[in-house]
Amino acid sequence: MEAIHKKLQTLSLLIAEDDETTLKWLIRVLSIYFKEVRGAKDAMEALELFNEKASDVIVSDIQMPQVDGLHLLQKIALLSPKTIRVVMTAFNSPEYINRAVEAEVHLYLKKPIDIDEFLVAITSNIPKEVVKNRLVSIGESYYYDTLQKIVKKDNQIIKLTKKEVLFIELLLQNKTSIVSIEQIENSIWDEPVSADAIRMVVVGIRKKLYPNIILNLKGLGYKLNIE
């Protein structure tokens, strides 16, 4: 399971499931393995979340109110062909199987889902380029390893605190936009904190890496200073 964990911990997952108990259980369990897990109670909410930020993997129940899961996955395939698409259902009828084939889903899983089987299946369907693309440039010959969650330069590891790592990851996830103070509080501290506490993390990163890696846009938030 360690090998599976290493491959999955760089991926984001979106789950569409109208049963609240099942959705909460899947989010809780799969959050152990994936970098980010989001949940939606129906197809429309899932599509809205996906449009806000695409996910590497999407898992959807078939039978949901308004729009069913297969229509959702067909839409996702048009928006993001590389996203791994998984359908789950309590029914194993030829009608659903044929529709799943037509929708070109990657995996068709029968409920209740066997988590170990699901994890192995997802790992087997990860595109090779996703696995290889674990080193992300953060400028000045520094690279962030999304798998090991460390920063490297010339094969040397730069030690960062947990909050510094979370801060860099948050900025990388939003590198084309400004990350607000509220986003930083919710993602790193999970509660309101002082401006000084945030500045201390930024100062620490600048000292360990290079001075202008992070831009401070007064009144708006922070942004990585990389192309």
Q: What pLDDT is attached to residue 148?
A: 67
Q: Given a cut of 80, is residue 86 above it in pLDDT?
A: yes
Q: Which of 80, 108, 131 is the last residue of a domain?
A: 131
Please name which of 146, 140, 194 lies closest in space to residue 170, comparing C-alpha atoms. Answer: 146
Distance CA 185, CA 131 (A): 30
pLDDT, tens only, 139-148 = 999 989 876 6
Q: Which residues contact 171 (CB under 8 A, 6 or more apart)?
A: 179, 214, 222, 223, 224
In a shared domain, residues 119 and 148:
no
In a shared domain, residues 8 and 97:
yes
In terms of residue numbers, what domain contains 153? 134-224
In a shared domain, residues 188 and 110:
no
* Domains in the chain, number: 2
In a shared domain, residues 116 and 140:
no
Q: Which comes out higher in pLDDT, residue 211 or 107?
A: 211
Q: Which of 101, 131, 161 is the last residue of a domain?
A: 131
In a shared domain, residues 147 and 88:
no
What CATH number should be reported for the domain holding residue 68? 3.40.50.2300
Q: What pLDDT is attached to residue 108?
A: 87
Q: Given a cut of 60, is residue 129 above it in pLDDT?
A: no
pTM of this structure: 0.58
Mean pLDDT across the chain: 88
Span 180-208, average pLDDT: 93
Q: What pLDDT is attached to residue 1?
A: 67
Q: What pLDDT is attached to residue 7?
A: 76
Q: Which of 131, 162, 197 is the last residue of a domain?
A: 131
Confidence of residue 189 (pLDDT cuts 50, 70, 90): very high
In a shared domain, residues 31 and 122:
yes
In a shared domain, residues 195 and 138:
yes
pLDDT, tens only, 100-114 = 777 788 888 888 889
In a shared domain, residues 207 and 98:
no
Q: What pLDDT is attached to residue 63?
A: 87
Confidence of residue 134 (pLDDT cuts 50, 70, 90): low
Cis ω before 112 (30° cut-off from 0): yes
In a shared domain, residues 112 and 139:
no
In a shared domain, residues 148 and 197:
yes
Q: What pLDDT is attached to residue 100?
A: 77
Torsions phi, psi for 187 (to 5 deg)? -85, -35
Confidence of residue 171 (pLDDT cuts 50, 70, 90): very high
Distance CA 223, CA 203 (A): 14
pLDDT, tens only, 52-64 = 888 889 999 988 8
Please name which of 68, 107, 86, 64 lies closest in space to residue 13, comparing C-alpha atoms. Answer: 86
Confidence of residue 128 (pLDDT cuts 50, 70, 90): low
Helix and strand totals (H; E) in the chain = 10, 11
Q: Are 62 and 88 in contact (CB under 8 A)?
A: yes
Confidence of residue 133 (pLDDT cuts 50, 70, 90): low
DSSP run (H or E) holding 130 = helix 128-132
